[in-house]
Amino acid sequence: MAPPNNTITVLELCRVAPPPDSVMQMSLPLSFYDLIHLRSVPIQLVFFFEYPHSKTHFIDSFLPKLKHSLSLTLQHFYPLAGNLTWPPESEKPIILYVNGDSVSLTIAESNNDFHHLSSDHARDINESLSLVPHLPKTDTLAPVLALQVTVFPNFGFSLGISMHHAAVDGLSISRFIKAWASICRSGDSSLSPDFLPFYDRTMIKDPARLEKLYLKELLKPTGSQTEFNNRSLLFTEPLAPPNAVRSTFKLSRADIEGLRKQVLIRCDKGKQTPPLHLTTFVLTCAYVWVCLNRTDPRKKMNRFIFSADLRARLDPPIPITYCGNCLTGRIIHAEICDIIGEEGLAIAVEAFSEAIRDIEREFYNGMEKAFSVQFEETEPLFGVYWSNRLQVYEIDFGWGSPTKVELISIDKLGSMSLSDSRDKGGGVEVGLVLNKQEMEVFASLFANGLNVGN
């Protein structure tokens, strides 16, 4: 595959801070939910918006409003302008914001095809990499957030986001972007209570003493180190698969209902109990998992990892506006011969349903193995990032909803992404990165499987 023409021209490198004197110095200790992700790869997203105006109009009319609204938003989301650090005197890492801290914002121009980059069809993964900013890191300091706006003159622009996962989860990121869009659209710096972030870590309880366990794992020496003093914030980014392409697959509401009927028919024959979780999330993840295993059974992708938000499940529950990580995860298993067989979808849904019931019974189960899952597992482990419930296609900076949203970091995570549909009809969009030949086989299986029973 020939290397793509993905060059961009940087127009401006700037930094955006909260308004002067609007925020006092503060520090936020990481909770055990955050510590899991201290050395994870950044969360990288790119939003594409149609904007049929010239570069001059973009620079003169668009940028000042975008920068000003970002500054106003950061006075509420000030930890995002800070840095992760692990001071010698601190038992655990913290997010530190001091007066003058700011967010890196890159302004760039691209002469590439806007419609090609924002399309659903398979394309080289490297074509989108230039649209997301680099999030620098050292042993001792790591910025929380970096942003990039790239204009495609007379066609549109993209908003690239790189966020340190130890500071936020998907819900926190989406609420920040929606708050920024709301302020940009209205010009009003105030936020409704639905958007105001909540930071109080004292509400996070740790009955399983996971924080102590995670800190012990983080402090373990690596490489030539011989002492338990590993306070490094560095992380290693896995390599993407060779000859990889990125594609988006859609499931309409009718497609999802068809999958639900397939499962119910199979379960009626087997008198399945207890009741299954036949949500859009479960049906979509199960269907993609089945199709992937049928694409190449030799890869034995018989394990799937997913996360569940715990804000409403905690006792007492914490506000949905809590800004930080608040997730638990589960790994489900199935035999390859079962997954690729006629009953594969129903078997996958049953596995998801059992894991969800386990979360509802005791959501701390298995969390003590969080680090081995990330860094020590050697067998293939596929999973899902993002969620259709985050409603990214509702975001509007004043120029309409995105024409496309992609989770760029799945190329390093060996995972699928899941979002709501830009068509806003109750469907979903699945992002996937695979070897080019595998993607062609998967696309055929994905489309053909939806016709079963029709």
How far is Cα 187 from Cα 149, in angstroms, rounded to an integer?
19
**Tens digit of each residue's pLDDT (9 = 90 or more) over 397-421:** 998 999 999 999 999 888 999 999 9
Determine contact, residues 126/4, Cβ cutoff 8 Å.
yes
Residue range 50-74, pLDDT digits in tens: 999 999 999 999 999 999 999 999 9
The angle subtended at Cα 196 by Cα 192 and Cα 198, nearest 5°, is 150
Integer Rg of the chain from CA = 22
**Percentage of the chain modeled with pLDDT above 70:** 94
Which of 92-106, 113-127, 140-154, 368-382 is the least confident region? 368-382
User: Is the model's pLDDT at 433 over the cut of 90?
Assistant: yes
- Single pTM value for the model: 0.94
Residues taking part in catalysis: 165, 396
Q: Kindly report the length of the chain.
A: 454
Residues 6+ apart with CB under 8 A from 294: 339, 340, 344, 445
User: Over the chain, what is the mean pLDDT?
Assistant: 91
**Using an 8 Å Cβ cutoff, are 78 and 164 in contact?**
no
Domains belonging to the chain, first-starting first, are 8-218 (3.30.559.10), 244-449 (3.30.559.10)
* Average pLDDT estimate for 274-291: 95
Condensed to tens digits (0 to 9), the pLDDT of residues 167-221 reads 999 999 999 999 999 999 998 888 888 889 999 999 999 998 999 999 999 998 7
DSSP string, 96-158: EE-TT--EEEEEEEE-S-HHHHTSSS-EETHHHHTTS------SSEEESEEEEEEEETTTEEE
3-class SS of residue 76? coil
Please check whether residue 195 is in contact with residue 183, taking contact to mean a CB–CB distance below 8 angstroms: no
Contact (CB, 8 A) for 45 and 408 = yes
| Pairing label, strands 103-110, 145-152 | parallel
Q: Please check whether residue 208 is in contact with residue 368, taking contact to mean a CB–CB distance below 8 angstroms.
A: yes
**CA-CA distance, 327 to 280, in Å (whole number)?**
19
With a CB cutoff of 8 Å and minimum separation 6, the contacts of 369 are: none
164 to 37, 192, 419: CA distances (angstroms)? 8, 26, 20
pLDDT at 378: 59
Tell me the backbone φ, ψ of residue 88, rounded to 5 degrees.
-55, -35
The per-residue pLDDT for 237 is 78
Average the pLDDT over each of 85-94, 337-346, 367-376, 423-432 and give the range with the smallest value: 367-376
Chain centroid offset of residue 109 CA: 25
User: What is the three-state SS of 22-51?
Assistant: CCCCEEEECCHHHHCCCCCCCEEEEEEEEC
DSSP secondary structure string for all residues of 166-221: TT--HHHHHHHHHHHHHHHHH------TTT--B--GGG---TT-HHHHHHHHHTS-
